[in-house]
Amino acid sequence: MKKAIAVTGGTKGIGRAIINLFADKGFDIITCSRSKADLEGLKAEIMVKNPGVVLEGVEADLSGKEGVDVFVQFARTHAAELKILVNNTGMFLPGQIHTEEEGVFEQMLATNVGSAYHITRGLIHHIINNKGHIFNMCSTASITPYINGGSYCIAKYALLGMSKVLREEMKDQGVRVTAILPGATMTTSWAETDLPEERFMRPEDVAHAIWGAYAMSDRTVVEEIVMRPQLGDI
């Protein structure tokens, strides 16, 4: 039976790079996006490169519980093959705690932590049955307070904490839990920057880090991977 990987927010940036790499490795794909057109574009790309791979995607906004439930129910239809879950969905709104607009805190927590929490709970029994691997896309903002990070930093700190707790819970279940902490990566979040592209990490490098952690024997878990641009974070 072919293995499957579920990647939230899979049509852009790091998520798309992960999907392309794991499709190359022969995994079937389960993903989601707020855009149906983006899902169709990704599916067409994968079909051309890897015609034997099945990509199933659903339109869902993971900033709210309703969208999370849509994705969980969708992913459960493929749960028999589900080996890896990558909680990749996230968003960034700049600001400082004392000046942020009302509601930013709740939005950051719901998108960056709440989606990972509820999706993990919704799929955890299938991951346990398959002795799978969970990756949470944290950030260097999970360990470094940024002045303009505000609620984003709070949410990413929380996601790293969730990863640590989940790892302890899953040790005896044979499930590995890895937190990925990437620094500045060339994605659409940096589309308006004046900095040269070479100043940023490539999304593909994050994807390869995930593959490397997964490919190790089940006797070893890579607990955290901190990644930064060679010249330092931005």
Planar angle of CA 200, 202, 204, nearest 5 degrees: 165
**pTM recorded for the entire structure:** 0.96
Write out the two tokens for 78.
């493929």
136 phi and psi angles, rounded to 5 deg: -110, 125
* pLDDT for residue 3 is more than 90: yes
* Torsion sign, CA atoms 155, 171, 82, 69: negative
Q: Please tell me the least confidently modeled range out of 49-53, 167-171, 182-186, 205-209.
A: 182-186
Place of tokens 């392309």: 20
Q: Is the pLDDT of residue 62 over 90?
A: yes
pLDDT tens per residue, range 4-43? 999 999 999 999 999 999 999 999 999 999 999 999 999 9
Strands 28-33 and 55-59: parallel
pLDDT of residue 230: 96
What is residue 190's predicted lDDT score, i.e. its pLDDT?
Answer: 75
Residue-averaged pLDDT of the chain:
95
Name the residue with higher pLDDT: 78 or 132: 132
In this structure, what token pair is assigned to residue 162?
Answer: 């969730």
The mean pLDDT value for 53-70 works out to 97
φ, ψ for residue 229 (rounded to 5)? -55, 150
Distance of CA 97 to the CA centre of its chain: 25
pLDDT of the residue at 234:
85
- Amino acid in the structure at residue 153: C
Distance CA 68, CA 154 (A): 21
Contact 3, 28 (CB under 8 A): yes
- What CA–CA distance (Å, rounded) separates 225 from 86? 14
The ranges assigned to domains in the chain are 4-227
Please count the residues of the chain: 234
Residue 231 neighbours by CB distance under 10 Å: 10
Q: Provide the pLDDT for residue 1.
A: 60
Any idea which fold 4-227 has? Answer: Rossmann fold (3.40.50)
Average of pLDDT values for 204-228?
Answer: 98
pLDDT digits (tens, 9 = 90+) for 104-136: 999 999 999 999 999 999 999 999 999 999 999
